[in-house]
Structure 1
Amino acid sequence: MLYKLGKKYAETALIKLIIVGLIIGIGIGMYAPNLVPAVSVFGDIFVRALKGIAPVLVFILVMNALAQKNSDASSSMKPIVRLYILATFAASIVAVAFSFLFPSVLHLQATASDIAPPSGIIEVLHTVILNVVDNPIHALVNANYIGILWWGALAGIALHDAADETKEMLSDFARSVIKLVRWVIRFAPFGIMGLVADSVGTSGIDALLSYIHLLAVLIGAFLSVALIMNPIIVFFHIKRNPYPLVWTTIKESGMYAFFTRSSAANIPINMTLCKRLRLSEDTYSLSIPLGATINMSGAAITIAVLSLAAAHTLGIHVDLPTALLLCVVSTIGACGASGVAGGSLLLIPVACSSFGIPNDIAMQVVGIGFIIGVLQDSTETALNSSSDVLFTATAEFHERYKAGTLKAEDLTPRD
């Protein structure tokens, strides 16, 4: 009986299980408060498991990505990579703007007295520099994400010229860590049930309203990037109405990614769309898989918005230079986001550490991210994946524009 239940649970789509956990958690918090202490244990276990695996995940993924980097890639990839990074950084700026315009207050188990907020950009940079040169083992044990990011990058660069067997072993290790993360995230329905029950039981309906507000800010930023920021970038490069191409990528790539919630799973869809747009196969066969790894505008938005929500909740003043530093950190963190559902949430502690927010509090924010992840992660992935095709096409169309051969019909796919 237990085996059959376990098998059914493993075969059921995670998003359905999360919705069920969310509903049960709300019901317990509102109508069975006496059960909250028992159920909240699941939330504590989930957050503790995330805290345990996240530092290792960040270190291994960053190291593996840089070790596997192909320095002999075609020169045609360079403008695409520049567009990927530009779009991700621009998305983080939009996220910061939305966070300042519509500040979110979360229900966290902490107060302003629990932390020592930085007084300005100088102290932030001082903290960042000290964290960067931290002992790598100490950084992993104490979840110093800035140090983890730095040492992971250096290790990856050092391993770039290693033997192919070494790189393959590192790649296998990275896949194994990602599998561990998937196992932890598979526990998310129970964790969310506990977290929501505890939040609703403690703070009442106000906790749910704060989740809705946070989700609205995120989706507003996603839509603004997809429908305003990205078209501006495309228009600047091809000097044509960008919306036929933008709508095509949203409709034929973004919609699939919304439901699969995986940029990696959407790679075949994107490559087929590139073929229908008559793009160079030599280029898109490289740019689409690469984009599924580093073109993460949606992830940058998630990291920036949730980190600033934590800072605002704790009364930490974030000035403009610090906000710009957050944009840089969000961009770098987004490029290292794992290819699993909710992977960007595990990079939030990297940004939170810039504000002096302890890992315990940052992981509470990660837990909230999983609560709203039913819509947040789907919308984030839709933006990430559709942008892969959009900027691959933009780079090639830019070359055609310079050569005077770009035509209006090039912006629409062939049937």
Structure 2
Amino acid sequence: MSALFKFINCFSLVQQILIGLILGVIVGFLFPIGVAQSVGIMGDFFVGALKAIAPVLIFILIIAAISNYQKQDSGGTMQKIILLYLCGTFFAALVAVTISFIYPITVPLDVGSAEARGPADIKEVLHTLFMNMVDNPVNALVTANYIGLISWGALFGFTLRTTNQSTRDLFQDLAKLVTNVIKKIILIAPLGVFGVVSITIAETGFEGIKAYLQLVVVLLIAMAVVALIVNPALVYMMIRKNPYPLVFKCIRESGMTAFFTRSSAANIPVNIELSRKLGVREEIYAVSIPLGATINMAGAAVTITVFTLAAVNTLGIEVDFLSALLLSVFATIGACGASGVAGGSLLLIPLACALFNIDNDIAMQLVLIGYVVGVIQDSTETALNSSTDVLFTAAADFAATKKEPNYKN
């Protein structure tokens, strides 16, 4: 058994998921009845584990992030960088909404007895939002009410800022603990992907795979628009010069590395070195780069929005403009709280789904689908997130100092 585990560990998680996907296609095609239904239990098991831990993750991360955040004073440059981070993430969500409206897609979901209880209009959306915010925090944990968890988590976090450091450190440790638990659960993602792809192929044939490919295409188009149009526009507004040399420099030297590491946190040393080579002030990038790895999540906003609207289309829920705008705000908030582990943004999908009264069981099926397409989605998302950390940091600093970026190193 130990030899088997050693052999499996020779492959990266991405490779293991890819192998699980291929085996799932083979099993679902060759054994469409008995075997595929049996291995489908693996997918149910993985979804069940995610459903159990996701509410705890959201609640603890929100408390830890707010209670331990320290405001930095850098002559206004840090405020501009944070503003760029938030605007970039919000506009990314808007791009995802727009593309999802232009090219609506559906995904294979086991709806079962769940009903499409979508809101009638923006009034109902806001009523649901405010009532969920004041739900009993214990009940919010039990029922996976993510909106309530965020509101109570934010309140607890701000309150904890007035307590002693040891209490705040406790929640920081709890956040690390829950994140490590998530990492352990994600190790069984290849088995979950194997199970869900097997049962999808067995029940829908290759139509299910076609839906997955359409989902990937929409995600990639949205992220490309953000990287090549939205981000350059924001940088131009800051430096008033051609932004593309800086954009391509960041994509080439930061984005490519992040594509393979699939972790914004792991790419922090690369971004710090790139910032230094570009000529950004150390007192700026030493703060903004680690902060960006936490809250600058344009790719995550795209993922959360596209997956949510895919569920909305599948269930036949009508979404008006104001509801879509509110979804963009929620995707921005959720993206800023995305976990630092690979695929962390997927666990925020239920938060956005709750806005449209989509059943949590259905939302967690979307999370599993996310792991199926995550071989491409998560790598591209991380590349966008991480390269934008350096891009916005450099743009704000050069706007303040009037310096020219150093492209020669």
TM-score, normalised by the number of residues in structure 2: 0.98
**Equivalent-residue separation in structure 2 for 1:317 and 1:397 (angstroms):** 45
Q: In the alignment, is residue 411 of structure 1 matched against residue 408 of structure 2?
A: no
Give the AA of the match of 1:77: M
Aligned length: 407
Q: Which runs of 5+ in 2 are unaligned?
A: none
Indicate the residue corresponding to 1:399 in structure 2: 400
Indicate the residue corresponding to 2:46 in structure 1: 46
**Equivalent-residue separation in structure 1 for 2:330 and 2:9 (angstroms):** 35
SS class of match (2:407): coil
**Equivalent-residue separation in structure 2 for 1:336 and 1:90 (angstroms):** 17
The aligned runs of 1:9-408 (5 Å cut-off) are 9-10=8-9, 12-33=11-32, 34-74=34-74, 75-110=76-111, 114-400=115-401, 405-406=402-403
Q: Is the alpha carbon distance of 1:72 and 1:412 closer, same or farther for their aligned partners in structure 2, counting shifts above 3 Å?
A: closer
Q: Which runs of 5+ in 1 are unaligned?
A: none
Instruction: Give 1:414 deviation, angstroms.
Output: 4.0
Instruction: Give 1:343 deviation, angstroms.
Output: 0.2
| Cα contact 1:244–1:411 (8 A) shared by 2 | no
Instruction: Give 1:7 deviation, angstroms.
Output: 3.4
Give the AA of the match of 1:413: Y
| Cα contact 1:42–1:190 (8 A) shared by 2 | yes
Q: Give CA deviations for 1:216-247 in whole Å, capped at 9, x if unaligned.
A: 00000001100011001111111100000000
Give the AA of the match of 2:47: V
Q: Give CA deviations for 1:117-136 in whole Å, capped at 9, x if unaligned.
A: 11011001000110000000
SS class of match (2:242): coil
Q: Give CA deviations for 1:298-352 in whole Å, capped at 9, x if unaligned.
A: 0000000000000011000010000000000000000000000000000000000
Instruction: Give 1:166 deviation, angstroms.
Output: 1.4
Q: Give CA deviations for 1:44-84 in whole Å, capped at 9, x if unaligned.
A: 00000000010000111111100111034434311110110
Give the AA of the match of 2:135: D
Instruction: Give 1:193 deviation, angstroms.
Output: 0.2
Give the AA of the match of 2:282: E
| Cα contact 1:112–1:315 (8 A) shared by 2 | no
| Cα contact 2:279–2:405 (8 A) shared by 1 | no
| Cα contact 1:29–1:198 (8 A) shared by 2 | yes
Give the AA of the match of 2:3: K
Give the AA of the match of 2:323: T
**Equivalent-residue separation in structure 2 for 1:3 and 1:179 (angstroms):** 22
Percentage identity across paired residues of the two chains: 50
RMSD over equivalenced CA pairs, Å:
1.2
Larger mean CA deviation between 365-374 and 164-173 belongs to 164-173
| Cα contact 2:116–2:317 (8 A) shared by 1 | no
| Cα contact 2:20–2:191 (8 A) shared by 1 | yes
Instruction: Give 1:4 deviation, angstroms.
Output: 2.1
Instruction: Give 1:179 deviation, angstroms.
Output: 0.5
**Equivalent-residue separation in structure 2 for 1:251 and 1:29 (angstroms):** 39
Indicate the residue corresponding to 1:4 in structure 2: 3
**Equivalent-residue separation in structure 2 for 1:305 and 1:412 (angstroms):** 37
Instruction: Give 1:170 deviation, angstroms.
Output: 1.3
Give the AA of the match of 1:93: L
**Equivalent-residue separation in structure 2 for 1:91 and 1:360 (angstroms):** 27
Instruction: Give 1:274 deviation, angstroms.
Output: 0.3
Instruction: Give 1:160 deviation, angstroms.
Output: 1.3
Q: Is the alpha carbon distance of 1:207 and 1:8 closer, same or farther for their aligned partners in structure 2, counting shifts above 3 Å?
A: same
**Equivalent-residue separation in structure 1 for 2:300 and 2:102 (angstroms):** 20
Q: Give CA deviations for 1:179-214 in whole Å, capped at 9, x if unaligned.
A: 000011110000000000011111110000000000
| Cα contact 2:279–2:406 (8 A) shared by 1 | no
| Cα contact 2:116–2:316 (8 A) shared by 1 | no
Instruction: Give 1:412 deviation, angstroms.
Output: 4.0
Larger mean CA deviation between 2-11 and 193-202 belongs to 2-11
Give the AA of the match of 1:223: A
Q: Give CA deviations for 1:128-176 in whole Å, capped at 9, x if unaligned.
A: 1100000000000000010011111111111112211112221111111
SS class of match (2:16): helix
